[in-house]
Structure 1
Amino acid sequence: MDFSGKVALVTGAANGIGAGLARRLAAAGASVVVADVDDAGGEAVADEVGGVFVHCDVRDPRDSEAAVALAVERFGGLDVAVLNAGIATGFTFDDFDVERYRTVMGINLDGVVYGVHAALPALRARGGGRIVATASMAGLMAMPMDPLYGANKAAVVGLVRGLGPVLAADGITVNAVCPSFADTNIVTGVKDALEAAGMPIMGVDDVVDAFVSVLRSGQPGECWFVQAGRPSAPFTFPNPPGPRTATGERVRFTRDPLTTSDVPEES
C-alpha cells in the first residue's frame, strides 16, 4: 500500500502507538484523523502531523461514526482505519468491579466492533481499504496475570479472523497486530516488575514498524505477532478439529459458506 494521498483514521492516537503511527502515516503522505478522548494530547498530535483531531470515546458508536464522517468531510473519504484505542484492566476477580469491567470491555472490544461498523461504508465507497485492530500477544496465548485483558484481546483476534474472508470480497483487508509489552501507558504500573523479571519492553517505533508492514502486505484475517528479537509475522494458528459427520468423517464444502466462493480441490 502506498500511503501517499490516502486518508487514515487512528483511534487512541494522542499518545503511544497511535501517536507514533499517526506520525509515520503522515510522513508517508497520508492525511490523518487523530481520534482520542485526550483532547489536548490529540490536538497536539494532529497539529504536528497536519491532520485533524476528533474527540472519540470508542465505547460510543456515535463517536466512531462521527470520526469517520469527519474523515470524509475534511479529506474526501477513508482508506485506512486503525482501531488502536485500548486500556489496561487494572483489577482482578478478587477486586472485581462491574463498572470498570464494562469500561475495559467497552474500549478494548466494543471499540473495535463499533470502529469496523462505522468505517465499512466509507471504505466500500472507496472500493476497498484497510482495517487494522490493535490486539495483543495476550490474545494469542494464555494470560494468567490478567485473564480479563486476555479475554478481550482474544475476542479481537477472533473477530479479525472471522471478518477476514468476508470483507475481502469488498476489497477490504482486515488484520490484527498483537504486540508483546511495549513502552506505553498500559505497562506503566508493571514496567519495573517486567524488566526485573527479564521481560524486554519494546520501543513504540518497533511496534509502529509492524503496523506499517501489516498495512502494506497483510493478508485477509491475519494476526501478526510483535516480539522483541524476532521479525514480526502472521501467527500460524493450529488447525482446529473442524466439523465432522456423525461417523467422524470431515465435512467438506463445495462452496465456502462465508464467501460463497468455490472451495479448491485438495491435492
Structure 2
Amino acid sequence: MSAAEALRGGQTDGAALAGKVAIVTGAASGLGRASALALARAGARVVVADLDAQGGREVADMVDGQFRACDVSDLDANRALVEFTQEYYGGVDIALLNAGVATGCGVGEDFDPARYRRAMGANLDGVVFGTHAVLPALRARGGGSIVATASLAGLAAVPLDPLYAANKHAVVGLARSLGPALAPENVRFNAVCPGFAESRIIDHLRGLLSDQGLPVIPAEVVADTVLRILTGDGTGECWFVQAGREPEPFRFRNVPGPARPADSTAATP
C-alpha cells in the first residue's frame, strides 16, 4: 500500500452499520463531524451531540439525524442524551465518545485549575460518564459498541502538554481494561488514537506543525478508522492513526510479571 493509500485509510465495508443507531459526541466539527457523516453514509441513524448548537444542527441536517445539546462533563446530560436517543430511535447500538478540548495549561506557573477541570471534564469524564450512561441501552439491545477518541498523546510521552497526555492515557487505560470486562455482555469497547488530525484542538499548533513540515491528518481518515473499528470484532484495542501509515491496533508491550525467588539475580548483602 502506498503512503497516499495509507493516509486515506483504505476502504471500509460499512454494510454492517446499516440501520444501527449511533450517538456521536463532539460532532459539530472536526473528527466528530467527519465520523457522523461516515456513519450516515454507511446507513446508520445518527444523533449529533455537542455544545455548539449551530454547528451541531448543521451536521444533523447533513446526516438526516437529530441534534441534542450535551455537556459531556455532566453525568445527567449524558443520561438525558441516551434517553433522548432511545425515545426517538428506539434504542442505541453505537456510542462514539469523541468530545474533547485542548488543555491550555501545564502544572507549573501556568497551572489553571479551571482549565484543568474543563479539560479533564471533557476528555476523561466525558468518556466515563458517556460509558456509564449508554451501557444500559446497549445491554437492552443485546450488545453494541463504544469507541472513545483518545490520541497518540495517550500512547506516548508528551512533555509539552503533560495534562493532555494524562487524560488521554487514562482513556487508553479505560479502553484496554473495559474491552475484556464488557466482552461477556457482547459490548465492545475500543479507542482511536489519532496524531495531529484536522480539528479545533490543533488550532494553536498549526503554525508549529507547518514550520516543522508535519502533515495534518484529514478528519476523514480518522472517521474511516472509526468505521473499521466498528465493523471489526476486536475489543480493548487502541488504534493509532498516523500520517502515511496504515491505521491498526497499537501493540502494547506486556509488563514484567512478579519474579519468583529463584528467578531473582539481585546480589545479597
Q: Give the TM-score taking structure 2 as reference length.
A: 0.90
- Correspondent of 1:187 among 190, 194, 202: 202
Whole-Å Cα distance in 1 between the matches of residues 257 and 209 of structure 2? 38
Q: What is residue 87 of structure 1 aligned with on the other side? A: 101
Structure 1: 5+ residue stretches without partners: 250-267
Which amino acid in the other structure matches residue 75 of structure 1?
Y
Q: What is residue 28 of structure 1 aligned with on the other side? A: 42
| 1:65-104 equivalences in 2 (<5 Å) | 65-93=79-107, 94-104=109-119
Q: What is residue 37 of structure 1 aligned with on the other side? A: 51
Higher relative contact order (CA 8 A, sep 6+): 2
Q: Give the TM-score taking structure 1 as reference length.
A: 0.90
CA-CA distance at 1:243 after TM superposition: 4.0
Residue 120 in 1 paired to residue 138 in 2?
Answer: no
Q: What is residue 3 of structure 2 aligned with on the other side? A: none
Which amino acid in the other structure matches residue 30 of structure 1?
A
- Correspondent of 2:62 among 48, 54, 68: 48
Whole-Å Cα distance in 2 between the matches of residues 248 and 122 of structure 1? 48
Q: Judge conservation of contact 1:175–1:218 (CA < 8 Å) in 2.
A: no
Whole-Å Cα distance in 1 between the matches of residues 193 and 175 of structure 2? 12
Whole-Å Cα distance in 1 between the matches of residues 106 and 82 of structure 2? 35
Cα offsets for 1:108-129 (capped at 9, x unmatched): 0010000000010000010111
Whole-Å Cα distance in 2 between the matches of residues 57 and 245 of structure 1? 49
Residue 132 in 1 paired to residue 144 in 2?
Answer: no
Change (3 A) 1:244 1:61: farther
Whole-Å Cα distance in 2 between the matches of residues 85 and 179 of structure 1? 14
Change (3 A) 1:88 1:245: same
Q: What is residue 187 of structure 2 aligned with on the other side? A: 172
CA-CA distance at 1:242 after TM superposition: 2.5
| 1:154-169 equivalences in 2 (<5 Å) | 154-169=169-184
Residue 63 in 1 paired to residue 74 in 2?
Answer: no
Percentage of matched positions with identical amino acids: 55
Structure 2: 5+ residue stretches without partners: 1-13, 265-269
CA-CA distance at 1:35 after TM superposition: 0.5
Say which SS state the counterpart of residue 142 (structure 1) adopts: coil
Over the aligned positions, Cα root-mean-square deviation in angstroms equals: 1.3
The count of corresponding residues between Structure 1 and Structure 2 is: 249
Q: Judge conservation of contact 1:12–1:85 (CA < 8 Å) in 2.
A: yes
Whole-Å Cα distance in 2 between the matches of residues 248 and 65 of structure 1? 51
Misfit runs of 4+, over 3 Å: 243-249
Cα offsets for 1:194-238 (capped at 9, x unmatched): 121121111111111111111111511000000000100000001
Whole-Å Cα distance in 1 between the matches of residues 261 and 29 of structure 2? 53
